[in-house]
Amino acid sequence: MRLKPYYRLFLFMLACGTVVAEPALYSSPLPLVADQRGEVIYVGEKTAQQIARIIPRTGKPDKRYPLPAQPNGLALSNDGKKLYVTVEEPAGRVYGIDADSGEILLTIKTGHTPMAPTLSPDEKTLYVCNRFNNNVAIIDLASGETLKTIPVVREPVALALTRDGQFLFVANHLPTGAANVDHMTSVINVIDTKKQAVVKSIPLPNGAIDLREMTLSPDGKFLYIPSIFARFLVPTTQIERGWINTHALNIIDVQRQKLLHTVLLDDIDRGAANPWGVACSPDNKYIVVAHSATHEISIIDRAALMEKLAGVPEHDATRKFEERADNPMNNLSFLYDIRRRVPLKGNGPRNLVVLKNRVYVTEYFSGSIGVVALDPTLKNNVRSVSLGPQKAMNTVRKGEMYFNDAALCFQQWQSCSTCHPDARTDAVNWDLLNDGIGNPKSTKSLLLSHATPPVMITGIRPDAETAVRAGIRHIQFAPASEEKASAIDAFLKSIQPISSPYFVEGKLSEAALRGKKIFEEESSCIYCHSGTYFTDMQKHDVGSGTEREKGVEFDTPTLVEVWRTAPYLYDGRAATMKSTFQTFNLNDRHGHTSQLTEKELDDLIEYVLSL
């Protein structure tokens, strides 16, 4: 009897001793990689925990390889014989797989949530982002050992290696530092692979956040990075013309290691929300960007783009030109005549590759691969190829889809995930209008929001259900469908916290155990941060208000997964947990910490960041 792929996976997981409640209901294709001749595409089916091999000529999968965990990154050897797969788990691993048989040939231990496996030109070294360790691992493939980890800014999620193998560009998902400032942006770190160190940091324009992917041009001269462009310096009074969020393509000169230009991907009256994957056509004629929340791709004429940019001053945040409307990063019509927006048949495009004259893009929620011809005159130029039968969506899955869907928003400018990537925080402050104007506050993670009412930083909403509907109405500027809002509630309730990178072999470190005692006995933190969720679900004035908010009571936030949600305090003024206790804890109103020694404070922080 021939078993269906997900039951083969189920039996494989049981044989490995892994606890699985039931076979995966959905495919969720995410990463993909093609061989150099364009004859085979490998697709990582995330929630199905398997790899599908697709033959572009037929457009259908012919093989599937089960995995012990969810794949989020793929790399293929030059000869197409070995596949490297990163899987999404705290005790991160990279698998080396025989590309023809699917046999796991080697298993390499790495850091927390490894991503973006990238081979050196000689294929002796594998570079991997350890997303929540905030570093890049250099792995020797002969021994399977990590030679070194290189610290980078925050949540590295994508890598691009120059053709000579000397410089490795690292895209950091979110900005770091305090949020109560006028300038917040994600950066691109540059690693010299010979020195094995970061040699440069390239800041993107103010508000450039939520990086997901990047790609080098085929000639190696330019690096293209899509991003969200958060307009966080203005109140959220309207959404038209991208007043809250726009979406951009950032262009870096590889040789000079300098940001050249940023161009907007939206149109004047229609957003191009949540850009994700990006790739160039092999002939270097086109740059293709996937828009995960508007379910389309942008096909940009590369030569026309560079010609148009030739007369534009290079990016320089100190110049007045940066503020002008005709600057490409402020001009919503800049790409009007040199870009095609192509709606896809499937939902939730993520990563993509371009082979010959076609684009192949993973459609996460549809369980399919979108196929788009670069020539729009070809017959059947946009189609969607299913990876197999997909189960009907349950309410949680629908809620996840709606959470990531800009169709809920007026003119498709943003989705819920635009400000809450992965349902967490975007690390910037927003001036919402639920408590007046002119008092920006930090974006909260939505983890456990339904279990810890009231919600919002000032507790202005009695519960998360109310906040979800108010968010659709006042931030998406659209009517709140009860069916969709209820599904989003179900999705948010289903989210589970991720194990802290401060754990040692899955347990509290010795320092954290000492910090636990201080938390519970000496600092009195436990009086407000108590219970299963480390919150009393009450509002308190802890003296953190500015002159304007003096005496204001703030909701006690959960400390679960607080390691992931910097910056801290209601306006993000504390860049680190240490500054929360050491700099912004006036008169010990936010816990009794002034009497602690430096070592005791470090132990307390180790514990809090382990929750």
599's tokens? 């070592």
pLDDT of residue 21: 34
Say if strands 208-209 and 197-203 run parallel, antiparallel, or are unpaired. Answer: unpaired
29's tokens? 């294709």
Name the nearest CA neighbour of 352 among 297, 300, 417.
297
Please state, in angstroms and rounded to a whole number, the distance separating the CA atoms of residues 212 and 225. Answer: 8
Give the model's confidence band at 377: pLDDT under 50 very low, under 70 low, under 90 confident, else very high.
confident
In this model, does residue 583 exceed pLDDT 60? yes
Averaged pLDDT, 248-263:
97
Q: Give the three-state DSSP class for 218.
A: coil
Q: Give the three-state DSSP class for 359.
A: strand
> What average pLDDT is seen over the chain?
92
pLDDT of residue 238: 92
pLDDT of residue 591: 85
Please state, in angstroms and rounded to a whole number, the distance separating the CA atoms of residues 353 and 278. Answer: 8
pLDDT of residue 402: 98
Averaged pLDDT, 524-529:
90
Q: Which fold has domain 1-151?
A: Methylamine Dehydrogenase; Chain H (2.130.10)
pLDDT of residue 24: 61
pLDDT of residue 20: 34
Please state, in angstroms and rounded to a whole number, the distance separating the CA atoms of residues 175 and 285. Answer: 32
Ranges of beta strands (E only) in 56-112 are 60-66, 71-76, 82-87, 93-98, 104-109
Note the CATH number of domain 398-494: 1.10.760.10
pLDDT of residue 7: 36
In sequence order, the 6+-apart residues with CB closer than 8 A to the CB of 222 are 216, 251, 252, 253, 254, 260
Sign of the C-alpha dihedral computed for residues 239, 241, 243 and 249 taken in this order: positive
**Single-letter code of the amino acid located at 587:** N
pLDDT of residue 366: 97
Q: Given this chain, do its domains 1-151 and 398-494 carry the same CATH topology?
A: no
What share of the chain in percent tops pLDDT 70? 95
Q: Which of 58-72, 187-201, 429-443, 548-562 has the highest mean pLDDT?
A: 187-201
Averaged pLDDT, 193-213:
97
Give the model's confidence band at 317: pLDDT under 50 very low, under 70 low, under 90 confident, else very high.
confident
pLDDT of residue 325: 72
In this model, does residue 155 exceed pLDDT 50? yes
Compute CA distances 565 → 174, 340, 425, 496, whole Å: 11, 37, 6, 15
b/e string for 1-10 if b means 16 or more Cβ within 10 A?
eeeebbebbb
Averaged pLDDT, 149-176:
97
Averaged pLDDT, 258-282:
97
Please state, in angstroms and rounded to a whole number, the distance separating the CA atoms of residues 463 and 449. Answer: 8
Q: What is the pTM of this model?
A: 0.93
Give the model's confidence band at 12: pLDDT under 50 very low, under 70 low, under 90 confident, else very high.
very low
Identify whether the C-beta of residue 359 lies closer than 8 Å to the C-beta of residue 372.
yes
Averaged pLDDT, 345-349:
98
What share of the chain in percent tops pLDDT 90? 80
> Is the CATH code 3.40.50.150 the one for domain 510-608?
no
Q: Give the three-state DSSP class for 411.
A: helix
pLDDT of residue 29: 97
Give the model's confidence band at 545: pLDDT under 50 very low, under 70 low, under 90 confident, else very high.
low
**Single-letter code of the amino acid located at 36:** Q
**Single-letter code of the amino acid located at 533:** Y
In this model, does residue 562 exceed pLDDT 70? yes
Identify whether the C-beta of residue 597 lies closer than 8 Å to the C-beta of residue 586.
no
In this model, does residue 407 exceed pLDDT 90? yes
pLDDT of residue 2: 35
Averaged pLDDT, 167-187:
96
pLDDT of residue 60: 83
pLDDT of residue 547: 63
pLDDT of residue 423: 96
Domain ranges of the chain: 1-151, 398-494, 510-608
The separation between CA 497 and the C-alpha centre of its own chain, rounded to angstroms, equals 16
In this model, does residue 575 exceed pLDDT 80? yes
Identify whether the C-beta of residue 336 lies closer than 8 Å to the C-beta of residue 330.
no
Give the model's confidence band at 389: pLDDT under 50 very low, under 70 low, under 90 confident, else very high.
confident
